Chains A and B, each alone.
Chain A
Amino acid sequence: MSMVNNLRKTIKELLAEKKIDLFIVWEKGSLPLSATPLFITSEDEADRAVFDITCGNNLSVYFTKDRKQFSDKKVGIAVKGCDARSVVLNILEKQIDRRNVVITGVPCHGVLDKKKVLDKTDGREVLEMIDDGDTVTLKGKGYELSFDRSEILSSSCLACIYPDAQECDIFIGDARAEIPNENRLKEIKEFEALSSSERWANTRAEYEKCIRCYACRNVCPSCYCNVCFVDQNDPGWIGNTCEFTDSMIFHIIRNLHVAGRCVECGACERACPMDINLLQLNRKVAMEVKDRFGDIAGLDINGKPAMADFREDEKQDFIMG
């Protein structure tokens, strides 16, 4: 049985056995490059569930939407490796009750970044996409292009070492443990190798594009403050213009608020309508957290988030030193 059929069967069983009230998964979207979230409450809807290269959304974000909208429900959720870490982080941070969630892992081979796809087509509209597992074929008006699927994968996927859920109740297929990835820190090391003025110029060029739509924040399962600091005006902590200083402060504060909590799923970067390289700073900070506290966000269901824990043997020098 194919992976997707297996997933659908699992959803039906969970609903039939009344183990859950609803199941959060993806379905085919209205555009060839987009899947869309689906909330299944009855068995007959389960056949709409899909999982493929277009399923970039981290669905854990829905647990904390509208002040924990599902807190009185038993919820099943389909997760990639990164999404599973978000669920775990949300559990550790007491946003989800572990007993109320059925974590259902799906085997992930990476999700696409639309920006990379449009680079391939020189901005021409994609009307059809076929992914055979190795090669992706794009079709549009007057063109057809094929290339290795790794060329359009999200940068988060290219650096991923946990493609499959490490904590889950059900896994569709055989879950892989940590996988070797020589590109894990490649982009970060390249960034670090730049001079400080180059890093500043690079970061400035990225954040200058920001239009303050907060798509990055709103798709992020780690960004769930009841009232975000940008949504306060008494006092107003930061300016809301899209001048660089205002935007930079927003992104740096968000970056530090998710320190030790960012699972590097890349949902922020894929959601950004201005194609800002949002993962760069987040991954740099995640690397620092790993280096200093030995912690990878959302990996250990029995652990504690790095910023909520203290160990005597931690490095005591200044965190960003």
Chain B
Amino acid sequence: MKMVRLDKQKFNDFIRELSVEYSVYAPGKVSGKTGFIPVESGDEIDFTSTVTDMSAKSIFFPHSEVLFEYDEDGIRAAQTSHRPIAVWGMRSCDARSLVMLDRVFGSAVQMPEDEKFQDPYWKEKYNTSLIFGCACNEPLSTCFCNWFGGGPYNNDGMDVSVVDAGDVYLMEPVSEKGTDIIGKLSCYKDAAEEDKALAAKLASDADSMMIAPPDTDGLGERLTALFDEAVWEEISAKCVNCGACTFSCPTCHCFDMQDEGKGSRGKRVRIWDSCMFPIFTMEASGHNPRALSSARVRQRVMHKYSYYPENYGETLCTGCGRCVMVCPVNLDIREVLKRINVYNEQEK
């Protein structure tokens, strides 16, 4: 498809033009931590982080989201008249995560059309959104997107791919929506042949910076076979079962629903939950099927690398490395997967 070049000096014009139709989100700093925030100009954007502290999932699936409110007059759906959302600067790991979440919230692929569950709160935001990616020229040592079919220049989930090429951004539509927006906006020029060559060179440089992945073929089946093995006690020994990994993860999507009410008025709120917490599986009887840490850690690993792939054909992990960075006890998921590979071969 057609590649165009946007001069960085015209970046603010671009954001302004985009803002006419869209609410624009981009990486920004709030109290020193980076995440995706609404912006009105390029000056508010943080261009320094490779992987933002908080992922892009919160744009479409916020930590706390009011589903409906009620009082004496009845029940009212939460306000849904959002302007469509455009996101600038999304790395391939986050763009891919949205495709994975969309299978759960938007369009489960294995279901017949009329039985598909469609989460209106997700769909309303995600289906009308426009994702401008941002290829990674400098992957971090914690990045492992290449383990599960991704890569620093992967375009899955993007409408427009973007390459930072020094003084210019090189943009290429990936989807129909992307082609439309590139046709509509005016502040860029067609890219030259040398631009295309530069983008290709940057892509191969970035790929070469990635560490070769271990063998992950058949990981899901291996995990299933290990369900009752003692390896989970060993792996989970250091885990303190906080939710730092799940909340920083771009693909973790479990939630709780709580009614916050007083008297006859109140609201129902959907709130991020975590399989690391004991109450996550606490049953009304008082029995907890995942009372121990090992069962909870196993669940998180199984969901990502066994159950979800079984349902949807792809791993529920984009290798962004956030869980590796935030874990207070340095329980490194990459080490866990390597351990599982070895355990399977030697000890079972």
Q: Let me know if B278 and A231 touch, CB within 8 A.
A: yes
**Residue from A57, A209, A239 within 8 A of B329 (CB atoms):** A57
Q: Tell whether A30 pairs with B324 under 8 Å between CB atoms, given A241-B64, A242-B64.
A: yes
Main secondary structure of the interface of B (DSSP, over half): loop
Q: Let me know if A215 and B243 touch, CB within 8 A.
A: yes
Q: Let me know if A219 and B243 touch, CB within 8 A.
A: no
Shortest Cβ distance from B248 into A: residue: A273
Any A CB within 8 A of the CB of B31: yes
Q: Which of B30-48 contact A (CB under 8 A)?
A: 30-33, 48
Any A CB within 8 A of the CB of B53: yes
Instruction: Enumerate chain B residues within 8 angstroms of A37, measured Cβ to Cβ.
Output: 237-238, 329
Instruction: Enumerate chain B residues within 8 angstroms of A65, measured Cβ to Cβ.
Output: 240-241, 293
Question: How far apart sit A231 and B138, CA to CA, in the bound complex (Å)?
Answer: 41
Q: Let me know if B269 and A241 touch, CB within 8 A.
A: yes
Which of the 9-residue segments A44-52, A120-128, A289-297, A311-319 touches chain B?
A120-128
Instruction: Enumerate chain B residues within 8 angstroms of A274, measured Cβ to Cβ.
Output: 31, 33, 53
Question: How far apart sit A275 and B49, CA to CA, in the bound complex (Å)?
Answer: 17
Instruction: Enumerate chain A residues within 8 angstroms of B64, measured Cβ to Cβ.
Output: 240-243
CB within 8 Å: A-B pair count = 120
Q: Let me know if B326 and A273 touch, CB within 8 A.
A: yes
Q: Let me know if A127 and B237 touch, CB within 8 A.
A: no
**How many A residues, CB 8 Å from partner?**
45
Any A CB within 8 A of the CB of B110: no
Instruction: Enumerate chain A residues within 8 angstroms of B242, measured Cβ to Cβ.
Output: 213-215, 217-219, 271
Any B CB within 8 A of the CB of A34: yes
Q: Tell whether A239 pairs with B258 under 8 Å between CB atoms, given A36-B330, A61-B240, A123-B49.
A: yes
CB distance from A205 to the nearest CB of B (A): 7
Q: Let me know if A219 and B329 touch, CB within 8 A.
A: yes
Any A CB within 8 A of the CB of B332: yes
Any B CB within 8 A of the CB of A29: yes
Q: Which of A253-303 contact B (CB under 8 A)?
A: 267, 270-271, 273-275
Instruction: Enumerate chain A residues within 8 angstroms of B246, measured Cβ to Cβ.
Output: 213
Shortest Cβ distance from B237 into A: residue: A39
Question: How far apart sit A141 and B31, CA to CA, in the bound complex (Å)?
Answer: 26
Q: Tell whether A275 pairs with B240 under 8 Å between CB atoms, given A219-B328, A240-B258.
A: no
Any A CB within 8 A of the CB of B122: no
CB distance from B271 to the nearest CB of A (A): 5
Instruction: Enumerate chain B residues within 8 angstroms of A196, measured Cβ to Cβ.
Output: none
Q: Let me know if A214 and B331 touch, CB within 8 A.
A: no
Q: Let me know if A232 and B279 touch, CB within 8 A.
A: yes
Question: How far apart sit A38 and B282, CA to CA, in the bound complex (Å)?
Answer: 30
Question: How far apart sit A123 and B29, CA to CA, in the bound complex (Å)?
Answer: 12
* Max chain A Cβ within 10 angstroms of own Cβ: one of B32, B138, B243, B244: B244
Q: Let me know if A218 and B140 touch, CB within 8 A.
A: no
Contact with A along B296-328 (1 / 0, CB 8 A): 000000000000000000000000000011101
Q: Let me know if A236 and B244 touch, CB within 8 A.
A: no
Instruction: Enumerate chain B residues within 8 angstroms of A233, measured Cβ to Cβ.
Output: 258, 279
Question: How far apart sit A37 and B238, CA to CA, in the bound complex (Å)?
Answer: 6
Q: Let me know if B244 and A215 touch, CB within 8 A.
A: yes
**Residue from B33, B63, B138, B142 within 8 A of A242 (CB atoms):** B63
Question: How far apart sit A205 and B31, CA to CA, in the bound complex (Å)?
Answer: 8
CB distance from A132 to the nearest CB of B (A): 23
Any A CB within 8 A of the CB of B251: no
Shortest Cβ distance from A216 into B: residue: B242
Main secondary structure of the interface of A (DSSP, over half): loop
Any A CB within 8 A of the CB of B180: no
Q: Which of B260-293 contact A (CB under 8 A)?
A: 260, 269, 271-272, 274, 277-279, 282, 292-293
Question: How far apart sit A211 and B272, CA to CA, in the bound complex (Å)?
Answer: 9
Instruction: Enumerate chain A residues within 8 angstroms of B142, measured Cβ to Cβ.
Output: 31, 125
Q: Let me know if B48 and A213 touch, CB within 8 A.
A: no
Q: Let me know if B48 and A270 touch, CB within 8 A.
A: no
Shortest Cβ distance from B138 into A: residue: A141
Instruction: Enumerate chain A residues within 8 angstroms of B269, measured Cβ to Cβ.
Output: 239, 241
Q: Tell whether A209 pairs with B244 under 8 Å between CB atoms, given A241-B63, A241-B271.
A: no
Instruction: Enumerate chain A residues within 8 angstroms of B141, measured Cβ to Cβ.
Output: 31, 125, 127
CB distance from B204 to the nearest CB of A (A): 18
Question: How far apart sit A214 and B244, CA to CA, in the bound complex (Å)?
Answer: 8
CB distance from B138 to the nearest CB of A (A): 7
Any B CB within 8 A of the CB of A208: yes
**Residue from A30, A57, A213, A227 within 8 A of B244 (CB atoms):** A213
Any A CB within 8 A of the CB of B21: no
Any B CB within 8 A of the CB of A66: yes
Instruction: Enumerate chain A residues within 8 angstroms of B140, measured Cβ to Cβ.
Output: 125
Any B CB within 8 A of the CB of A11: no
Q: Let me know if A36 and B293 touch, CB within 8 A.
A: no
Any A CB within 8 A of the CB of B17: no
Instruction: Enumerate chain A residues within 8 angstroms of B258, measured Cβ to Cβ.
Output: 233, 236, 239-240
Any A CB within 8 A of the CB of B334: yes
Question: How far apart sit A21 and B324, CA to CA, in the bound complex (Å)?
Answer: 30
Question: How far apart sit A73 and B138, CA to CA, in the bound complex (Å)?
Answer: 48
Question: How far apart sit A66 and B271, CA to CA, in the bound complex (Å)?
Answer: 25
CB distance from A75 to the nearest CB of B (A): 13
Q: Let me know if A30 and B31 touch, CB within 8 A.
A: no
Question: How far apart sit A321 and B345, CA to CA, in the bound complex (Å)?
Answer: 64
Any B CB within 8 A of the CB of A168: no
Q: Which of B72-100 contact A (CB under 8 A)?
A: none
Q: Can you list 12 A-B pairs, Cβ within 8 angstroms, ordered by A?
A: A31-B324, A31-B332, A36-B329, A125-B50, A212-B247, A213-B274, A218-B242, A231-B282, A236-B258, A240-B256, A241-B269, A275-B31
Binding site for B on A (CB under 8 A): 29-31, 34-39, 57, 61, 65-66, 122-123, 125, 127, 141, 205, 208-209, 211-215, 217-219, 227, 231-233, 236, 239-243, 267, 270-271, 273-275
- The 4 closest A-B CB pairs, nearest first, are A271-B328, A241-B64, A36-B330, A215-B242
Binding site for A on B (CB under 8 A): 30-33, 48-50, 53-54, 63-64, 138, 140-142, 237-238, 240-244, 246-248, 256, 258, 260, 269, 271-272, 274, 277-279, 282, 292-293, 324-326, 328-332, 334-335
